[in-house]
Amino acid sequence: MSEFTPHTSPSLAALDPLHRYCPRCRAPLTTDEIGGHERALCTACDYVFWGNPVPVVAALVEWQGQMILARNQAWAEGKFGLITGFLERDEAPDEAVRREVGEELSLVATSADLIGLYPFPRKNELLIVYHVRAEGEIVLNEELAEIRLVPPARLQAWDYGTGLAVADWLRRAGLGAQAG
């Protein structure tokens, strides 16, 4: 998941083609305001696409005293973020974040402590961000192009998405002067 274009929320009209037609009756959708927000509504039946945010788990991984930042294969050179992923059905968020760390880095999570919850409007996501201590030998899966190991004192937050969690974690660790 890319996290590097700040804060603008796409209008529903810009949503993918799945949301141009009613999933129930195939009629075209239109948009209107319901409950103070723009929604996609069916022009033929009573279907409403509410467009509620999707929860996403993210891990600020600590391994051998260093923090892991990762570059997704889809991201530009030099763009690094946290390990992220979607929850599976019936999966608790802390289980999901441990699973993602295992899948993407091949590490075993030994703890997962919630840093906080952060809105990410551009992707209509709610980020559930954990500080995850992990051990093992790092093996990147196909999602990741490369990682960086950063000493906690040199970690720098960014001002949107998971970066807000990094800033909070730094502040609580007494390293807040680096944030921002």
φ, ψ of residue 69 to 5 degrees: the values are: -110, 140
Q: Which residue among 1, 12, 22, 147 contacts Zn ion (CB under 5 A)?
A: 22
Nearer to Zn ion (CB atom), residue 48 or residue 144:
48
Nearer to Zn ion (CB atom), residue 45 or residue 153:
45
Residue 71, number of CB atoms within 10 A of its CB: 18
User: Under a CB-based contact definition with an 8 Å cutoff, are residues 179 and 167 in contact?
Assistant: yes
Nearer to Zn ion (CB atom), residue 12 or residue 147:
12
Distance linking the first and last C-alpha atoms of the chain: 22
Told to check if 24 binds Zn ion by CB under 5 A, we report: yes
How far is the C-alpha of 43 from the C-alpha of 61, rounded, in Å? 47
Nearer to Zn ion (CB atom), residue 4 or residue 47:
47
Q: Indicate the pairing of strand 54-63 with strand 48-49.
A: unpaired
Binding mask 42-81 for Zn ion (x = CB under 5 A): x-xx-x----------------------------------
Interacting residue ranges for Zn ion, rule: CB under 5 A: 22, 24-25, 27, 42, 44-45, 47
